[in-house]
Amino acid sequence: MSKQTIQWYPGHMHKARKEIAEVMPQMDLIIEVLDARIPYSSSNPMISDLRGDTPCIKILNKSDLADPIVTAQWLEYLELEEGVKAYALTTQDPAEIRKIPQLIRALVPNKEGAHKVIKAMIMGIPNVGKSTTINILANRIIAKTGNEPAVTKQQQRIKLDDGIVLSDTPGMLWPKVQNPLSGYRLASTGAIKDTAIEYDDIGMYAAEYLCKTYPDAMRKRYKLDNLDKTDIELLEDIGRGRGCLGPGGLVDLNKAAAILINELRTAKICRISLETPAMAEAEKKAVIERLALEGVKIKKRKPKKKRR
């Protein structure tokens, strides 16, 4: 598997970033919707830079697809950042999503009262369920939804029944994904278009990671006997078992990858998380060190709270 750096930044995203930067100072609170399977990789670093000290609710959406043990670790980790509250939710349970307004009011206490309007902005990268979340909160179809990334392409304001005005924003990636592993995770979960990275490579990344992290589930799902193999050999075994054979009996890696990625995305293998807080910390450090060698300046993030 070759390590590819993903650059995928449609024009509407560049425009959205400029518009968001202009209105951000007017916001009382930011809601960032993350993919519970990849909270680090699905967190746009530009959002943290843009929001400054504005309180933030981080929603770990699709938690029904993620490993619950790892999700619990992420909730604790994310709340170490000052002004952040984190919640694991799923749009498959609308009742949980409808609790968001009371979470907003709890974080903006100085705006309590029947006539106090709270201005909140909801943000997130493509395909994390942001539009579906908005539709549930509004009790009507406001935002266009779809499994393809970059469905929402312009900002809009939605007035909720709870005295909250919600500003929607396009699903916004950043110009360059500096961490190659984050790129593969974003591709594995469908946050970026499948054409942004070689599909075979995504499949090999997923096969290797899942066989190491969820070996029992992989053995059961794909009838694998030996997991001590290279990434391409594992993907070939998966494809062979599913009949993905081409001329001469060779495994069609593209078809094998398509099967594996689809079953990862839909949790047919098991509930999967593709990264942990410990992995994120190690990878952030590696990226900072690499960029320092390249002479790239890194903005300092907000300090984390001390553990109690």
Known binding site for GTP: residues? Answer: 61-64, 127-132, 171
Give the pair of three-digit tokens for residue 275: 């990264």
Burial class (CB in 10 A: 0-12, 13-18, 19+), 141: exposed
Give phi and psi for 250, each to the nearest 5: -75, 145
Task: Give the whole-angstrom CA distance, residue 105 versus residue 110.
Answer: 9
Task: Give the whole-angstrom CA distance, residue 7 versus residue 126.
Answer: 14
Contacts of 7 (CB under 8 A, 6+ apart): 175, 176, 177
Q: Binding site residues, as ranges?
A: 61-64, 127-132, 171
The H-or-E segment that residue 122 falls in is: strand 118-124
